[in-house]
Chain A
């Protein structure tokens, strides 16, 4: 029972706790809920406020758009608003800066949303903003260089009821919901959304004063300006060549009524093509152009003033369809026409009746100014050929009678096409002028004919005078300019048939190629023209002279290869006499015919001086430059005449010489072996007794062909090695030039040997560079032995002394690294443990107590020619093989110790008994081991010491600085002291034949296995059949010459 009671109490307690918690939770959350609800309300208010401002600024923009002209034109805008129905934009100029105006929002009643203003024009109450909406318009004039425009921007400012306490967060939110043109005011500055725009002082720049902080401002979405093709507010399209871009596919209505409509001005051309397809034409297509309500069409050119004061036009279409022009009076409805198209018969007539175009196309013209009343008309028509026909006797004829002046053609009045005024023989001057081409099919007879350019098939002069029948005047006169005659039609004849050119000179054009002058030879005729004479008028031969009084150049041009000049012998035998220089000149490239040709064997060419001495004389055969086409070379040949068997030598006397110039790719001088006797040289001195006349080749090469026949030469060697030889009793060096001192190249310091002005060695000098590549040299002082046979294959490059001076603490030399140490200007190969284990270092007091390593040091590599091997030899020459005990003053025992490396007292100074040392092994060994390889090869390290086989001495000495060699023996198991061992190490360069790939190196020569048989000459080892004499052996077997020269 008690238990249930407590249980009940427990339930009640739990409920109490839950109730308390619930109340607490409610008390905490409820304010949040209320706060959130209030915020949502504010957001909704802000959304509405932003929408409201967007509408207002839109209304302002539309207002500005509609009234842009008046606003910018400083005019007054009127409307039907109950308040502020008029704004004078002269105020733009009234304020200080002249570029803004503050306008009451009531003025925009026609643009604002319905209900925004009450019936009195006041702003209705508003939740957020107070009624004091401020509107300003800002005007900006560009004043630019090329573009003058006025831009209007509207601004609306709405101030919240809360004034400056209005939260900026809300102002900013409203602004951003307005869009990019929204903003709010802070400290008199308009702050545009996202910094897109801003006005630093709206009072100064917009004239809006007393704007509190937090006020929301909106500007025009886009500024309104003139000339803006992108402004939706104006209809403007630019001209485009592609006019479809400006096509309007709708009816253009210029306002709701004619009174409110607008004009279309500045039309260049209006083309009306009536076609009622999409849009019905009121009144039908015949009224495509309808001037309604008595609207007239006025052709500019006012003739008078009507009764109502209106202008009377010069052209008018009457209601009956007639067209009249030339109103002379009346009130505008009655007209006296000067020109009329009659509606009845379609005739066109002048108002005075003096000219009429009949309905059939003929026209009448009054005769002698008759007004037509008397029927005094002349009738004309135009036929199908365009001929003007006049009517006589009831039919139209083609005769056209012109009395007075008739003008045909068009153009300048002063140059009318055809002008004829009175044909009279007594009348001078030009009675007929044709300004363009005239064609006369028949005969044109002219008494006196003058022309500057006549084209005619036959042009005759001197025929009968058409007027006087005078037959005497046969004259064709070319007064000043040239007479041109085509083809071969130019003939000059007198009445006897003789050709004459009367008086004056016959001038031939200087353009010689365009004119040929043919002189026809007749018995007693000659042509005499400015010094050109030909013919034999009186039997005397007249030479042909080309005379030139002006002393200018004269060219006689023989055009083709068959042209020639023939001269005849005269009394003095002179064929041609040239007073001046005579030149044969090649006129054109490729013409090889500029030569002076003397025909047959009697022809000769000579020049002589005043003493009649010939300088050049060719009397027989022949000096000729062969310039035959296609030949690559031009030769001058000296040929022996078959008749005169004398010499055809080319002899140069005195200081004359033959010089050959040019950039030839081949030799300059050829010697034909066929023309040289086998026993005579190709070049020889004329006087063999004279010491002069040697051959001198400056900086050249004498390349001699082989004298051997093919049978002596192995074909494979012929091209490379087949050369001739120079035979001389002496080849001497050059002389010492004047001024060369005693220190010249070949002077050895000895005085008066061969004279101080000459080289000491009168020997053949060769270029050392080429001597070095000589195949071989025979030394006669060595019995003609070849130098290659007597040169050693091993070249000693150095002998080194090696002794044991490094302590055995050096350890295993096989693991030592080596490098080139440079110090004090020298380079030395050293091991990395070398210096530290020098006995002088480790035992400075007495190095001779130093147990040494068999490592004696490094022998550097010799410097060898390429291809030579590097070799080393190590010769021991001083060593202490064995000592059977060192008996000191008190040593009598013989003791064999099992560990010879154990340290013992000094047997010489210690008085204790000591065992006898006995070195059991006397196996002395030397060895050289290379350091590095290939390009990094540095030399060898040398070992010398005593070795002990491990098979005999066990393996227990590893820890006592004893090095066990890889060949399973120990080095210096017994101590070997400082400098007890000495060896000579000799390095060589070895001429290893097998490394050379050359025909000149006997690569198979092997002293052990392939040595040459003592009397072999060729490389046929051991074959006695090829043995040669000693003389033969002196030749180089590789060259395989068979004649011993």
Chain B
């Protein structure tokens, strides 16, 4: 009998090592890892916002903005707006940052403003232009629920901690029929941003459906309508779930 008592003691001792030795271990160990994933997007988006600011009349010495619809590459466009040493490898699935300049008169934001080109005044300076900075990328499988595919709670929490979630940041998801008719779906869009404290921030339609000229992959290619082929199979560059940060430019 003694041997069983001793054996049980050791088993309990070994099992106890699986218990967390600090109550906040999750915050200490897990959340920083999730924050690192999210922080990269936040940092890149903030850099893009600074880029836009630097190309606005207050700083660019012009009467109109000098940015255009398209992609802001970290290695070129955002080089001077990102932390020193920032690494972005988009070929490996890192985040992409795009600028969309949409027609403000179109309440659903389903159309671009015409006439954009680098040799003329940017269409983004048009008073009728609604400009958006969008940074997006796949949420790694590690941070998603295996069954539902949605982000894990730790990811939600990390998002809540380092980003102003529920306003511009969250994961993108298609709406069901009931949500499509929701009054919060101001852009009458198929997709919305979801986060911890709010579950529907309408994503402008063109961002979901359209392609930006001269851009290898738009939001629609990776996170939106064009991420699957005609047979409904996910393309190699498509994401099951996307982390997205959309900032309107005022």
Contact = CB atoms under 8 A, between A and B. Distances in A.
Contact of A147 (B10, B35, B54): B54
Nearest to B17: A36
A146 B46 CA distance: 18
A179 B162 CA distance: 11
Interface stretch (A114-122, A222-230, A743-751): A222-230
Interface in B1-40: 2-3, 6-7, 10, 13-14, 17, 21-22, 25, 28-29, 32-33, 35-40
A147 B59 contact: yes
Interface in A127-153: 138, 140-144, 146-147, 149, 151, 153
Interface in B77-101: 80-87, 89
Interface residues of B, number: 45
A180 B53 contact: no
A228 B66 CA distance: 17
Contact of B28 (A18, A22, A50, A143): A50
Interface stretch (A40-48, A269-277, A786-794): A40-48
Given A21-B3, A40-B17, A229 B84 contact: no
Given A29-B14, A151-B81, A238-B58, A194 B250 contact: no
B46 A230 contact: yes
Given A29-B10, A196-B87, A219-B85, A146 B60 contact: yes
Contacts of A192: 85, 87
A227 B32 contact: no
A896 B13 CA distance: 113
Contacts of A198: 85, 87
A230 B14 CA distance: 49
B88 to A, nearest CB: 9
Interface in A175-212: 176-182, 190, 192-199, 205
A149 B54 contact: yes
A227 B50 contact: yes
- Among B38, B39, B55, max chain A CB count under 10 A is at B39
A47 B50 CA distance: 34
B80 A193 contact: no
B119 interface: no
A438 interface: no
A176 B36 contact: yes
A144 B81 CA distance: 11
A438 B216 CA distance: 73
A36 B28 CA distance: 20
A270 B86 CA distance: 44
A33 B54 contact: no
A197 B94 CA distance: 12
Given A147-B54, A147-B60, A26 B6 contact: yes
Given A40-B21, A222-B46, A227-B53, A142 B80 contact: yes
Nearest to B44: A196
Contacts of A153: 83-85
Prevailing SS type, chain B contact patch = helix
B84 A146 contact: no
B199 interface: no
Contacts of B84: 138, 140, 151, 153, 199, 205, 219, 223
Given A151-B80, A180-B39, A199-B84, A194 B33 contact: yes
Interface string A239-252: 01000000000000
A364 to B, nearest CB: 54
Interface residues of A, number: 58
Nearest to A230: B46
B49 interface: yes
B43 interface: yes
B149 interface: no
Contacts of A225: 50, 81
A36 B33 CA distance: 24
B83 A146 contact: no
Given A25-B7, A40-B21, A219-B85, A230 B50 contact: yes
B62 interface: yes
Given A138-B84, A146-B55, A146-B59, A193 B36 contact: yes
A852 interface: no
Interface in A7-35: 18-19, 21-22, 25-26, 29, 32-33
A interface, over-half SS: mixed
B80 A25 contact: no
A72 interface: no
A43 B24 CA distance: 13
A804 interface: no
Contacts of A194: 33, 36-37, 40
A190 B83 CA distance: 14
A182 B66 CA distance: 35
A230 B49 contact: yes
A972 interface: no
Nearest to B16: A36
B61 interface: yes
A799 to B, nearest CB: 65
Given A22-B6, A147-B59, A179 B32 contact: yes
Contacts of B54: 142, 144, 146-147, 149, 227
Nearest to A143: B80
A220 interface: yes
Contacts of B37: 180, 194
B29 A47 contact: yes
B89 A195 contact: yes
Contacts of B25: 47
B63 to A, nearest CB: 12
A29 B3 CA distance: 13
Contacts of A138: 84
Contact of B83 (A18, A19, A21, A197): A197
B83 A223 contact: yes
B217 to A, nearest CB: 20
Contacts of B7: 25
A22 to B, nearest CB: 5
Contacts of A44: 21-22
Interface in B101-149: none
Contacts of B28: 47, 50-51, 177
Contact of A182 (B22, B32, B51, B53): B32
Contact of A195 (B35, B59, B87): B87
B22 A18 contact: no
B40 A196 contact: yes
Contacts of A176: 29, 32-33, 36
Contacts of B32: 50, 176-180, 182, 193
A47 to B, nearest CB: 5
A43 B25 CA distance: 10
Contacts of A223: 82-84
Max count, chain B CB within 10 A of own CB: residue among A18, A146, A181, A222:
A146
**Most chain A beta-carbon contacts within 10 A, residue among B17, B21, B83, B86:** B83
Contacts of A18: 2-3
Contacts of A177: 28-29, 32
B2 A229 contact: no
A868 B82 CA distance: 92
A197 B86 contact: yes
B128 to A, nearest CB: 15
B132 to A, nearest CB: 16
B234 to A, nearest CB: 24
30 contacts: A21-B3, A25-B7, A40-B17, A47-B22, A51-B28, A140-B80, A142-B80, A144-B54, A147-B51, A147-B60, A153-B84, A153-B85, A173-B29, A176-B29, A178-B32, A180-B38, A182-B36, A190-B85, A193-B36, A194-B33, A194-B37, A196-B40, A196-B87, A197-B86, A199-B84, A219-B85, A222-B46, A222-B83, A227-B59, A229-B50
Given A197-B83, A222-B83, 15 more contacts: A19-B2, A40-B21, A50-B28, A141-B80, A142-B80, A146-B61, A153-B83, A176-B33, A180-B38, A182-B32, A190-B85, A193-B36, A196-B43, A219-B85, A229-B53
Please give me the 5 A-B residue pairs with the lowest Cβ-Cβ distance, nearest first: A147-B54, A146-B60, A180-B39, A142-B80, A180-B36
